[in-house]
Chain A
Amino acid sequence: MAMKMITAVIRPHKLDDLELAVAQLGVQGMTVVEVQGYGRQHGHLEVYRGAEYRVEFLARTQVQIAVDETLVEPVVEAIANVTRTGKVGDGRIFVAPLGQAIRIRTGETGTAAA
């Protein structure tokens, strides 16, 4: 069975909502990392005494979830719905093919390892 890797870059405070929403769809694991990024939303100015810095990057949270391809649509829709605020800066969701997944403890592969 084909698998996909869903990568979502979201606002940090939406992480808990995302976790709850995808858990209800049967997702049993994810990897989370704090990142910086920008899209169309502009950065801000930081001033340290006489030095001014234009900082384009904003704090975001990146979530990676490996799913069987049948779960891609419902999971993507769930993530988008709970993380959307309607304001510029909501983030992105990327879906990429996933060659293989292995559960380290048992050696299971494929969807059983998602």
Chain B
Amino acid sequence: MTKTRLTGRAAALLAALAPSLALAQDAPTPEKGDTAWMLVSTLLVVLMTIPGLALFYGGLVRAKNMLSVLMQVMVGFSLIVVLWCLYGYSLAFTEGNAFIGGGARLFMQGLFDPATGTFAMAATFSKGVVIPEIVFAAFQATFAGITCCLIVGAFAERMRFAAVLIFMTIWFTICYLPIAHMVWFWMGPDAYTSAEVAAETTAKAGLLWQRGALDFAGGTVVHINAGVAGLVGAYMIGKRVGLGREPMPPHNLVLTMIGASLLWVGWFGFNAGSALEAGNSAALAFLNTLLATAGAVIAWSAAEWALKRHASVLGAASGAVAGLVAITPAAGNVGPMGALAIGLIAGVVCLWGVTGLKRLLKADDSLDVFGVHGVGGIVGALLTGVFNNPALGGPGLVTDWVTASVGSNGILAQLWIQAEAVGVTVVWSAVAAFIAFKVADLLVGLRVPEESEREGLDTTEHNERAYTN
């Protein structure tokens, strides 16, 4: 969703051809508040993954597999961050075609010029407002990382570590990058200088951005993407040995609760940071992240209390995550009451997602990646189209980037656009995940042998024991 003002090569060329022109082009400078907020937001998303997600998932598996979950998240996140900085950022967030970017930022070239000490700037959603592009790149790196780590929950307790890493590398490349590009890449508000150039500027954006899909912080790019990939993986790898016959309750819900809490706190960076500035949009996203999540906790707990006679900690924690997932595409795109509605609905629908729907799907999605992230992401993405409308308290959207005027496409029209984005993501992710899992299977085999699964992945894959007594 950004276009740098001067890419590395363009800046060098410009300076060589017309040094005075380069100097005269009075590029906007970043505000310290915006930069500081974005750095903090990036930090918060790192916290969401390590240790937030790691502990949330870790507590849910059996003790013998705790370390395998921590490892898959820690190393998986690190792997994706490295790949992001090698080629991922370039392919996602530079100009290319409607599906994928180009090579302008390979190896992070152009983010700063060591010779002159100049840092490239990235656009925000406000004309004339920029943040250092390096901050944007770092922020987005954490998104790529956490998305890939979310999938781990679906095949927990039985997948080979090497297969996890191979799968992540491939899926990141053929799925995360194109979807991120399609949904979020555009030329930035400052490229819309006049009505004459508006159409061709929009034509350079990602496919789904061009269609007008609203996804504030990654309902499609992160959650539906990961949820569908997880479901495909669960089908392909098969059910855990002993499922349904042997007890497999969470080994430490205290850790799960700590993880869920870190996720909620970190998610403020994930959502409000996606505003790219420390301003009104971030403020709206912040409140919505607080309110929707609280609503989802109440809704899941109430529904569980009504249906199963007790509200549980796992339910409350899961409700929180469901609300956070659902508000992700909506965070800066709906009003507070819309956010509350989204949270309440997601809390109930995702409870169904991990119970009734899970039984229907018949896959062993160990930690409910599809039930929470897939279903929650779909609910949130669709409801964003509804509650974005000013008639329902939403802020509407920018319909003309030349004048930055705000309007709306109408609820039904926007809902259809959202559905298109959801559909594209579901299909693309499913196909890409199938390919990625297949290649990993052919190279190293997806699943550990049964004896290893029985003994536990910690000792068999990592030669370690989480708890020594």
Contacts and interface: CB of A to CB of B under 8 A. Distances in A.
A49 B249 CA distance: 10
Given A47-B308, A49-B314, A49-B354, 11 more contacts: A47-B310, A47-B312, A48-B249, A48-B250, A48-B314, A49-B368, A49-B371, A50-B354, A50-B355, A51-B248, A53-B249
A46 interface: yes
A50 B249 contact: no
Nearest to B307: A47
Interface residues of A, number: 8
Contacts of B354: 49-50
Interface of A: 46-51, 53, 55
Nearest to A47: B308
Interface of B: 247-250, 308, 310, 312, 314-315, 318, 354-355, 358-359, 368, 371
Secondary structure type dominating chain A contacts:
strand
Nearest to A49: B354
B239 to A, nearest CB: 13
A33 to B, nearest CB: 14
Nearest to A54: B247
A74 B275 CA distance: 76
Contacts of A55: 247
A51 B371 CA distance: 14
A49 B248 contact: no
Contacts of A51: 248-249
B241 to A, nearest CB: 16
Return the 5 tightest CB-CB contacts between A and B, nearest first: A50-B355, A49-B354, A48-B249, A50-B358, A53-B247
Contacts of A48: 249-250, 312, 314
A58 to B, nearest CB: 16
A98 B314 CA distance: 47
A112 B355 CA distance: 61
Nearest to A46: B249
A99 B371 CA distance: 59
A92 to B, nearest CB: 25
A49 B355 contact: yes
Contacts of A53: 247, 249
A49 B318 contact: yes
14 contacts: A47-B308, A47-B312, A48-B250, A48-B314, A49-B314, A49-B315, A49-B318, A49-B355, A50-B354, A50-B355, A51-B248, A51-B249, A53-B247, A55-B247
Nearest to A55: B247
Nearest to A50: B355
Contacts of B308: 47
Contacts of B249: 46, 48, 51, 53
B156 to A, nearest CB: 14
A50 B355 CA distance: 5
A53 B246 CA distance: 10
Contacts of B312: 47-48
Contacts of B355: 49-50
Nearest to A52: B308
Contacts of B315: 49
Nearest to B256: A48
A47 B315 CA distance: 10
A38 to B, nearest CB: 15
B320 to A, nearest CB: 14
A50 B352 CA distance: 9
A46 B368 CA distance: 18
A50 B248 CA distance: 12
A51 B354 CA distance: 9
Contacts of A46: 249
Contacts of A47: 308, 310, 312
Contacts of B247: 53, 55
B394 to A, nearest CB: 32
A49 B371 CA distance: 11
Contacts of B250: 48
A55 B312 CA distance: 16
Nearest to B352: A50
Contacts of A50: 354-355, 358-359
| Most chain A beta carbons < 10 A, residue from B247, B250, B368, B371 | B247
